[in-house]
Amino acid sequence: MARRSIGIVLNGVTGRMGYRQHLVRSILAIRDQGGLTTADGTVLWPEPILVGRSEVKLRAIAERHGLTEWSTDLGEALARPGVEVYFDTQITGARAAAVRTAIEAGKHVYTEKPLAEDVEEALELARLADEAGIRHGVVQDKLFLPGLLKLKRLVDGGFFGRILSVRGEFGYWVFEGDWQEAQRPSWNYRVEDGGGIIADMFCHWRYVLDNVIAPVRSVQALGAIHIPERVDENGKPYAATADDAAYGIFELEGGVIAQVNSSWTTRVFRDELVEFQVDGTEGSAVAGLRRCRVQHRSMTPKPVWNPDLPATEDFRAQWQEVPDNTEFDNGFKTQWELFLRHVADDGAFPWDFYAGARGVQLAELGLRSWKEGRRIEVPELAK
């Protein structure tokens, strides 16, 4: 069987996402399974080249995983023989410049979201990538979560009848960093470093709503900086200049109304860190990261409002679990496999820079809606 090595420059691999989800759970997991077999029998074999700012950290990661290639110089790494793909998982503010460098070097580019800090820059990257004739893609991991795959299956199977509304709850308490260490990096709370929950999460909500329910046509958002001061990784207090919660209403094609709360300042009273309830004329579903439960029209109870009596029904027990019916792999890995196949001419990859730009567009319009205090139409992006 022919084996084709694909050199992949992974930039930002010392970070949370870069290390855990992309290097360990995706690239190394693909190697552990013996590579990726394409339709013609060729085995694709990813060869990671770790890139970052700290040689000490890169060397430690490489040694831990038996890897030999790393660099603190992006240009030099891209020029190494065998490199075909550039992957970016740096902080958001550092992304566009590095992606440009990779496009100029003629590499295929796959990147974490958001693609850029504003839609103009995102579209410019898409245009440059097309002109250079490279393959491009943006991480849209939530589409590959078991819970959302089961939800999509219900939509495709016509379970809901006419979909009326979607209610999404995302969030958890991110510690301020004073008496307990924060579990997210401090740049997330500084707008000057590309932080903010609208910039972070609205690109996810864009592809989730567009792909699973219906295309987003308008946005109305209210952001908030609930915790104005936090303490950083070095124990130093800093002003939190970026939104740590966002309350959004989105109108979708066909009149569906989606409300999504995104918050790093809420305590979880849910089964999963994100949950979407979809209500339709024929039935409803609640989907999380892994689970999806349904209640069909025929199984819907008839509650009667009476605050004088304690609730007599266990409403949660009236829902049914949607079976997996298949094995779900890690979502980041699944999308990596699709991108590598795409690079090797072994399949389509619809989650390109234009899809990434649509995510950036929703974040940008969400921020504008908050600032101007009004509902804003989401126009089609010209390719």
User: Of 220 and 262, which has the nearer Cβ to ligand NAD?
Assistant: 262
CB of 26 to ligand NAD, least distance (A): 12
CB of 130 to ligand NAD, least distance (A): 22
Residue 255: count other Cβ atoms within 10 Å of its Cβ.
12
The 8-class DSSP code of residue 128 comes to H
User: Of 159 and 264, which has the nearer Cβ to ligand NAD?
Assistant: 264
Buried b (16+ CB within 10 A) or exposed e, 140-155: bbbbbbbbbbbbbebb
d(CA 113, CA 118): 12
CB of 276 to ligand NAD, least distance (A): 16
CB of 194 to ligand NAD, least distance (A): 7
User: Of 90 and 220, which has the nearer Cβ to ligand NAD?
Assistant: 90
CB of 59 to ligand NAD, least distance (A): 14
User: Of 112 and 121, which has the nearer Cβ to ligand NAD?
Assistant: 112
User: Of 19 and 159, which has the nearer Cβ to ligand NAD?
Assistant: 19
CB of 114 to ligand NAD, least distance (A): 6
CB of 15 to ligand NAD, least distance (A): 2
User: Of 159 and 336, which has the nearer Cβ to ligand NAD?
Assistant: 336
d(CA 311, CA 94): 52
Tally of residues, the chain: 383
* Alpha-carbon distance values, 298 to 35, 71, 279, 284, 295 (Å): 47, 61, 14, 11, 8
Buried b (16+ CB within 10 A) or exposed e, 308-340: eeeeeeeeeeebeebeeeeeeebbbbbbbbbbb
User: Of 92 and 220, which has the nearer Cβ to ligand NAD?
Assistant: 92
Q: CA dihedral in degrees (155, 156, 161, 166; nearest 10)?
A: 20
Give the binding site for ligand NAD (CB under 6 A).
12, 14-18, 52-53, 89-92, 94, 112-113, 139, 141, 185, 187, 200
How far is residue 209 CA from its own chain's centroid? 12
* Alpha-carbon distance values, 133 to 105, 128, 136, 139, 242 (Å): 12, 9, 9, 20, 36
d(CA 366, CA 250): 10
CB of 174 to ligand NAD, least distance (A): 12
User: Of 57 and 375, which has the nearer Cβ to ligand NAD?
Assistant: 57
User: In the block, which residue shows the tokens 């065998």?
Assistant: 82
